[in-house]
Amino acid sequence: MNNNLLLFKELEKRFSVFRWALIIIIYPITLLLSSYNKSSFYYIVLLVIISLYNAFVTIAAYSKNGRFLFILSWTKYFDTISISVLLFLRGGLKSDIYILYFLIILYNGAKFGLKGTINCLIQSILYFTIAAFFFTEEMDFDTYRYFIRVMYLIIYVFVINEVNHQIAESRTKERLARELAEKDPLTQLPNRLLMNDYFEKMKNKSRSKKNCFTIALFDIDNFKPVNDSNGHAFGDKVILELARILNENIDHEDFICRFGGDEFLAFLAISEKDKAINEIKKIQQQISSYNFDGFSLTVSVGVKMFSHIGTMIENISWADIALYAAKNSGKNQVIIYDDLENLI
């Protein structure tokens, strides 16, 4: 699905509620209070058409199978035309419905940016001009009021564009700050701050499916002497390449983060111990056969099959104990915590 349409869906979920409020509450009240509407019959027909239109938009916004999704790209035209026809029925130039143009310009600026703002401004001025000149009785036409209202629309566009720009800039800064807080700056993998959230997700999923998942700690063997002899820039490159290999070899349901230094932590959606060992050994073999700028490196891996008895910290600590055992068993090993008793 197009990313823009996904954004439109979220915006339309909110704006369609506003349309329903106008249709059900505001428009009927203005009809009852109006003393200069052209025709109540046409007014009601228009409300029915707008209701049907907003019903399709609402379905498109909440639909999971993409029904009527195309209509979300055309709301910038339908909304402006609807308001303009309503403006005509409510008296043309002197109608208070004119205020809704500001709302539509604001909304389309949020959806389409500057291009959408200008597009909606041109439509608004065009349709407002038609309603003002052709559908306002000659004796009621006020040239001064017309130009003032057009001027307000133009000034409003500049203000709204600046507001939207500031909002977008603020959201960008917020997103970047969140990424800096949640991602490792070197590898761009999640850091330990996101670990808790993913652990809870996988724990809840394993509980509902009545199985477990795999916790694995990867640590580069003999990394310190390689890093010291070749410089930290080379060490960073090794960590970056290792992060890429690990990230490319996990499933979309899995989680991996830089745990610290040259250690990486993975939560793998694998409930069978033998399958977990096989998958980890495949990754281990790929790492050992990789050429790190003339160096061959290996990793030791400590594994713990998640236990509901322990907390997250305890489960990771058990994986760390298994990693320590793998380091002391000649390195380039995969050891499961549950099997440690058999090694004694």
Nearest 5°: the CA angle 255, 260, 261 is 125
pTM: 0.54
Given 3.40.50.300, 3.40.50.720, 3.30.470.20, 3.30.70.270, which CATH number is that of 195-343?
3.30.70.270
217 DSSP β-pair partners: 265, 302
The domain locations on the chain are 3-181, 195-343
Which single residue is written with the structure tokens 């080379």? 234
The structure tokens listed for 31 are: 């009809």
Instruction: Please list the pLDDT of the chain residue by residue as tens digits (344 residues).
Output: 455 556 667 778 888 888 888 888 877 777 776 655 556 777 788 888 888 988 988 888 888 776 777 787 788 788 888 888 877 777 777 777 788 888 888 888 777 777 888 888 888 888 888 877 776 555 566 788 888 888 988 888 888 777 777 777 777 777 776 666 678 888 888 877 788 888 988 888 887 776 789 999 999 998 988 888 888 888 899 999 999 999 998 888 899 998 888 899 999 988 888 999 999 999 999 999 999 888 889 999 999 998 888 889 999 999 999 999 999 988 899 999 988 755 54
Instruction: Report d(CA 286, CA 298) in Å as an integer.
Output: 9
What is the β-pairing status of strands 334-336 and 263-268? unpaired
Nearest by Cα to 207 from 138, 271, 286, 285: 271
